[in-house]
A and B are shown apart, each in its own frame.
Chain A
Amino acid sequence: MSIISLIIKREFVAKVRNKSFVVMTFLSPLLFVAIAGFIAYLSSMKPETKRIAIHDETGLFADSFLKQNKKDSEYHYLNLSEIDSESLKDSIAKENFEGLILIPKTTLKELETKVEFISNNSPSISFIKKTQGLIASKITKLNFEKAQLDTIAIQKAKATVNMHLAKSSGEESLKGLNEIKIAIGGAFGYLIMMFIIIYGNMVMRSVIEEKTNRIIEIIISSVKPFQLMIGKIVGTSLAGLLQFTIWAIIGLSLMLAASMFFGVDIGPTSRISPEMMHVAQREFSGTAQMYISEAWNLPIASILFGFVVYFIGGYFLYSSFYAAIGAAVDNQTDSQQFLLPIIMPLVLSVYIGFFTVVNDPHGTIAIVFSMIPLTSPIVMLMRLPFGVPWWQIAISVSLLFATFFFVVWFAAKIYRVGILMYGKKPTWKELYKWLKY
C-alpha cells in the first residue's frame, strides 16, 4: 500500500510541477473569461436591420407588418404595393432588400397557401414563423368578421391556462425547475467528459513517457504493473482535482470582480433608458430568485452523491483504457486508432444527454443509456435532477463498477505486456493475443 502512495505522490508532484500545468491552471480561467466577455460583447452589438419589401395586392396585410416596425429592430418593412410585382422581384437584390413578401389578390381561403416570400438568402425559421403568424391571425380576424362573429367577445372568451406543478408529496414545484435541472445535469455531465478527456490523456502521456524513457523496466522490477497503473491514475486525477479547484476559485473571484466592474462602469453609459434598466433588473432579480429557490428544491444530496460516484467510476473506467492504450503504443501519434472507440461513447453520451434526456428524461433511450457503463456516468448524471427511481441507480452503479473492475483487470493485462514491448505498433489482433500471455 505504501508503494502505491509513493507512486501517487510522484505522479501528483510530477504533474503539478510541470510548467504547462501551472500555465494552464492560471491562464485558462483568464482565457475563459476573455472569451465569455468577447461573446457578450458580440451579442450586445445590434444586428443590422434587414429591409423587407411587401407587395400586398389585397391591401389587407401591409398595415400589420408596418406596425411591427416600431417593435422590431431586426426587420424593417416597407409597403411597395404600388410597384409592379415583376419589377420588384428583379430589383430586390439591387435595392438591398433582404426579401419580398408577395401577397396575391385572391380569396382568403386561397391566401393560406398562396403567399410567397422571395429572397436570395434563406430566411430564418423564426422569421418564417412570425410572418406566417401575422398573416394567419389577420386572416382569422377577417374570417371572424365575415362570419359576423364578435371578435371582442371571442378575445374575451379565450382562456390562457397557467398550470401549477406539484409533486404527490405535496411540495410545490415551479416550471422554471426544468431549465435548472437541464443546466445542472448538463454542467456536471460536461464536466465529467472534460475531465476524462483531459486527464485520461495525461495518464496516457505519462505511460508513454515512461515507455520511451525506458525507465519502465527499472520501475517494474520493484513494483507490480497493476500498482503502477493505479498509482498513476489516482495521482493524475488528484492533480486534476487540484486544477479544477483552483479554476473554480479563480472563476468565482473573477466573476465577482467582473460583475462589480461592469455594474459600475457600463450601466450609466449604456443606451438603455434608466426606467427600462430598472424594469429589466427587477424582472431579472425576480426570475433569479425563483431559480435560486427552485434550485433548493432539487434532490441536491442525491445529485452530489451521484456526481461523486459517477465521477470516480467513469474517470477510473476511462483512464484504465487510456493507460492500456498508452502501454500498447510507442508514441502519441500511434494512439489515434485506439482512442476513437473511447471518445465515441463519451461524445455519444453527451449528445444523448442534451437531446434525449432533456426531452424525455424517463424514456427508453435515456434509461438504457443510463445503464450502459460507458455512457452511464454522463447520461445518468443528467437524468438525476429529474428524479430517478433508486433501483435504476442501483443497477447502473453496480454495472458501472463491475465493468470498472473488469476493465482495470483487462487494461492491467494489456499494460503489463505492452509496457515491455518496444518499437512496433500493435494491431487489435495482437492486443487480443496479449490478453492470453
Chain B
Amino acid sequence: MSNLLEVHKVVKQYGDYVALNEVSLNVPKGSIYGLLGPNGAGKTSLIRIINQITLPDSGEVILDGEKLQPKHVQTIGYLPEERGLYTSMKVGEQCLYLAQMKGLSKAEAKLQLEYWFDRLGIQGWWNKKIQELSKGMAQKIQFVVCVLHKPKLLIFDEPFSGFDPVNANIIKDEILALKEQGATIIFSTHRMESVEELCDHIALIHKSNKLIEGKLSDVKRQFKTNSFEVGILTDNVEGLMYDITQKFTVSPASFKSLNDDLKLDIQIGNSAPNELLHILTQRGQVTHFVEKIPSVNDIFIQTVTDNKV
C-alpha cells in the first residue's frame, strides 16, 4: 500500500516560536490516520500546511505523488475544529457556494447535495437559515460540505465535538463508509476511545516534534510491557507467590471479577506466557488470564509525560 500523503521534514516558525520541528509523516492510502497530540503540539499548524492555508518554512508535502500545489485543494476535504457557517445565508445556497469553491459545477453540486441531504435525512433544511438550526444540525451541514466534492483526502479535526451520541454514531458510520469507498482520512482528536475504534495508523506530535508514528497494532506492540493480568483461586498463596517470584515480577492488580480470587499483575519479560500459565495451573484454578495491551490513552499519557522538558 502506497502513501497518499507524505510530509517531509516540515518546519514552521511563528516569530521565535517553532510550531513544527522537522516533522515527517506518511499517511497510507485508504487508512484512517489518527493525528494525536496535546493542545498546542502543532497539529493545527500541520493541518493548515496540508490545506495550503499556510506555507511551511522548509520541507515539502507530497500528495498522491505530486508536490502540493493549488489545484490540490479540490482533492482535500477539511472539517476544521473552529468551524462555522454564514448565519444569515440559507443552507442550500451556502452549500452550493462552498461546493463551487471546491471546483464543483453548480449542477454537480446540487446532485451531490441532494444525495447527502437524503442520506442524512435533512432534506427539509434547504431553505432554512443557519441561525435557525441547532449547533448539532449546523455540524451536520458542515460535514456534508466537507465531503461533498468526493475528496481523496479527508481531514477531520475533532469531528465529534458538538454531536449527541446518536448523531456522533451516524457521523462515525459515514466516516467508515467513506473509507470503504477508498478515501484516506486524517483524524485529529482528543477522544482516545474513538481513535481506538476507528484508526489503523497513528502519529503523536508533542512540543512541535513527532514522537510516534506507525500502524496502531505496531505501536501497541512497541509499548506493551509483557505483563499479564491473572486471577487465580488457590489455598496455598505463599507457595504460589514463592513459585512466581522466582522467575517474574509481581504486583497486586485490581479488575472486576465474579470470584473471590487472588488478583495479580505479572511481568514475564522475555519468557513465554505458557511458562507462567504452567506454574499457575499447578497451584490453583485460573479464572482470568489476559495480556495487558496498552490503550492509546496510556501510550499518549506515557509519551507526553516522559517527554516533559
Contact = CB atoms under 8 A, between A and B. Distances in A.
Nearest to B102: A222
Given A213-B84, A223-B101, A218 B142 contact: yes
A420 B98 contact: no
A433 interface: yes
Contact of B145 (A7, A214, A218, A420): A218
A219 interface: yes
B51 interface: yes
Contacts, number: 67
B82 A221 contact: no
Given A6-B97, A217-B80, A221-B53, A14 B86 contact: yes
B53 A214 contact: no
Given A214-B82, A437-B14, A219 B87 contact: no
Nearest to B146: A218
Given A221-B53, A433-B15, A6 B84 contact: no
Given A14-B89, A433-B15, A222 B98 contact: yes
Q: Give the residue among B14, B84, B100 with the most A Cβ atoms within 10 A.
A: B84
Interface in A403-426: 416, 420, 422
B14 A222 contact: no
A246 interface: no
Interface string B7-21: 000000011000000
B73 interface: yes
A7 B86 CA distance: 13
24 contacts: A3-B101, A6-B97, A6-B101, A7-B101, A14-B86, A18-B88, A209-B86, A213-B84, A214-B82, A218-B83, A218-B84, A218-B142, A218-B145, A221-B51, A221-B76, A221-B78, A222-B98, A222-B102, A223-B101, A416-B54, A420-B48, A420-B54, A422-B82, A437-B14
A220 interface: yes
Contacts of A223: 73, 101
Contacts of A40: none
Counting chain B residues whose Cβ lies within 8 A of the other chain, the interface size class is 20 to 34
Interface in B56-104: 70, 73-74, 76, 78, 80, 82-89, 97-98, 100-102
A215 interface: yes
Contact of A6 (B70, B73, B76, B100): B100
Contact of B53 (A14, A210, A220, A437): A220
Contacts of B101: 3, 6-7, 219, 222-223
A51 interface: no
Interface in B102-159: 102, 142, 145-146
Interface of A: 3, 6-7, 10, 14, 18, 209-210, 212-215, 217-224, 416, 420, 422, 433, 436-437
Given A213-B84, A433-B15, A218 B53 contact: no
Contacts of B15: 433, 436-437
Given A213-B84, A213-B87, A10 B97 contact: yes
A410 B236 CA distance: 81
Contact of B86 (A215, A217, A422, A433): A215
Main secondary structure of the interface of A (DSSP, over half): helix
Contacts of B52: 221
Given A10-B97, A218-B142, A218-B145, A213 B53 contact: no
Contacts of B87: 213
B68 to A, nearest CB: 13
B53 A217 contact: yes
Given A3-B101, A220-B53, A221-B76, 17 more contacts: A213-B84, A213-B86, A213-B87, A217-B80, A217-B83, A218-B78, A218-B85, A218-B98, A218-B142, A221-B73, A221-B80, A222-B73, A222-B74, A222-B101, A416-B54, A436-B15, A437-B14
Nearest to B145: A218
A433 B86 CA distance: 30
Given A6-B101, A10-B97, A222-B102, A217 B82 contact: yes
Contacts of B74: 222
Contacts of A214: 80, 82-84
Given A222-B73, A433-B15, A215 B48 contact: no
Interface of B: 14-15, 48, 51-54, 70, 73-74, 76, 78, 80, 82-89, 97-98, 100-102, 142, 145-146
Nearest to B85: A215
A201 to B, nearest CB: 18
Nearest to A219: B101
Q: Give the residue among A220, A222, A416, A436 with the most B Cβ atoms within 10 A.
A: A222
A259 B174 CA distance: 68
Nearest to A416: B54
A14 B88 contact: yes
A219 B98 contact: yes
B83 A215 contact: yes
A437 B54 CA distance: 10
Contacts of B84: 212-215, 218
Contacts of B146: 218
A399 to B, nearest CB: 31
Contact of B85 (A3, A10, A213, A422): A213
Nearest to A222: B101
Contacts of A420: 48, 53-54
A14 B94 CA distance: 11
A229 to B, nearest CB: 14
A218 B80 CA distance: 7
- 5 nearest CB pairs, A to B: A214-B84, A213-B84, A217-B80, A221-B51, A222-B101
Q: Give the residue among A217, A220, A416 with the most B Cβ atoms within 10 A.
A: A217
Contacts of A217: 53, 78, 80, 82-83
A215 B85 CA distance: 5
Contacts of B85: 213, 215, 218
Contacts of B14: 437
A416 B80 CA distance: 17
A126 B53 CA distance: 66
A232 to B, nearest CB: 13
A220 B98 CA distance: 11
